[in-house]
């Protein structure tokens, strides 16, 4: 698999990443092993996790598998801190205390002495200077190699990047993680331009529109799908509406004409969109991951990519004209 630089940093990762949000919950240890083996076999290197995933169980499972498979030198582990579920409530705590506590827990669960890319999981109520100071401390103590942000809107991305560049000794941010797909193009308005201006790599999450762009919901909610589960139905439902159906049908038509699967068309559109470093694949089984990895040598014709731009929200201003 081809690799790409993470923004202006020296870090390079595969141009597809493997997400672990469902690990140790909807994805069993056996399935996770198959996913990781298949991903690495295909040349994938970037594996994304978070302290919040499965209340830490996803990190714990990833650390176990990396050790058992001897992949310590083959994968780039990205994790996140500052977001958690406590006493049954989803909270954001980006205080220095919470971030460094999350980091120490992540290192223990992952069985490592450092994390390759550590990201603030969300914008919080703590002063931004305090949150970013925790990042600088983690870097200076050798606990983290590169730093990034996740789920920041445009002005937050610019403010965080500017703060880190304001004084010598602060750690420049390397990346931003944001939802981006044919069903979620808001990132093009401010986040992607901010990333380009500050030299940040971009990691889109849910590049398949929370699974809707696979086409599996065209005639209902399949048993075993995310929308059929109690803990993920809320996540998928916003994209099960008329406008989304129109985009899905356009993707299906494009797939039929190109002899590809709808998920492959949707993934290629994101992977090769201007400014993108690596979409994060949230596959729960090897059967879901295989067709995504099979597009390594594929690209969308310019006319198809532009037509999908038009049907999903209008031209992408950053896409080079032909």
Alpha carbon 67 to chain centroid, angstroms? 23
Instruction: Report the chain's C-alpha Rg in angstroms.
Output: 19
First to last CA, the chain: 27
Strand 3-5 to strand 12-14: parallel, antiparallel, or no bridges (unpaired)? antiparallel
- For the chain, give the longest Cα–Cα distance: 56
The reply to whether 53 belongs to the active site is yes
Residues in the chain: 322
Cα dihedral sign, 232-13-271-160: positive
Helix (H, G, I), strand (E, B) or coil at 277: coil
Alpha carbon 82 to chain centroid, angstroms? 16
Crossing angle (nearest 10°) for helices 302-312 and 262-271: 90
Residue 284: which of 14, 30, 10 has the closest Cα?
30
Residue 99: which of 53, 68, 134 has the closest Cα?
134
Judge whether 181 and 209 are in contact, CB under 8 Å: yes
Neighbours of 170 (CB within 10 A): 16
Phi and psi, residue 46, nearest 5° = -85, 120
The secondary structure of 205-265 as a DSSP string is E-TTTTTGGGTTTTTS--TTSGGGSTTTHHHHGGGSSHHHHHHHHHHHHHHHHHT--HHHH
Given 53, 146, 180, 239, the catalytic residue: 53
Which sequence positions are flagged as catalytic? 53
């Amino acid at each position: 698999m081809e690799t790409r630089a993470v923004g202006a940093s020296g870090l390079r990762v595969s141009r597809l990443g493997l997400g672990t949000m469902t690990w140790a919950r909807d994805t069993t240890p056996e399935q996770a092993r198959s996913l990781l083996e298949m991903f690495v076999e295909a040349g994938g290197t970037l594996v994304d996790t978070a302290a919040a995933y499965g209340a830490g169980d996803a990190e714990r499972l990833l650390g176990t598998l990396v050790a058992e498979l001897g992949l310590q030198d083959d994968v780039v582990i990205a994790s996140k801190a500052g977001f958690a579920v406590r006493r049954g409530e989803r909270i954001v705590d980006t205080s220095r205390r919470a971030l460094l506590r999350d980091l120490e827990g992540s290192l223990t669960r992952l069985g490592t002495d450092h994390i390759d890319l550590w990201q603030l999981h969300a914008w919080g109520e703590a002063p931004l200077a305090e949150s970013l100071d925790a990042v600088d401390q983690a870097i200076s103590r050798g606990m983290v190699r590169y730093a990034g942000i996740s789920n920041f809107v445009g002005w937050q991305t610019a403010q965080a990047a500017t703060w880190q560049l304001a004084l010598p000794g602060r750690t420049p941010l390397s990346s931003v993680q944001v939802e981006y797909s044919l069903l979620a193009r808001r990132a093009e308005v401010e986040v992607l331009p901010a990333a380009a201006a500050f030299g940040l790599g971009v990691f889109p999450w849910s590049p398949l529109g929370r699974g809707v762009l696979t086409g599996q919901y065209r005639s209902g909610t399949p048993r075993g799908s995310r929308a059929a589960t109690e803990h993920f139905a809320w996540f998928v439902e916003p994209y099960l509406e008329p406008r989304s159906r129109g985009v899905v049908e356009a993707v299906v038509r494009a797939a039929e004409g190109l002899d590809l699967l709808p998920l492959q068309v949707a993934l290629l559109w994101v992977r090769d969109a201007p400014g993108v470093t690596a979409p994060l694949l949230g596959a729960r089984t090897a059967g879901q991951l295989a067709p995504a990895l099979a597009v390594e040598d594929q690209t969308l014709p310019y006319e198809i990519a532009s037509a999908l731009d038009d049907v999903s929200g209008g031209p992408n201003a950053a896409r080079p004209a032909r």
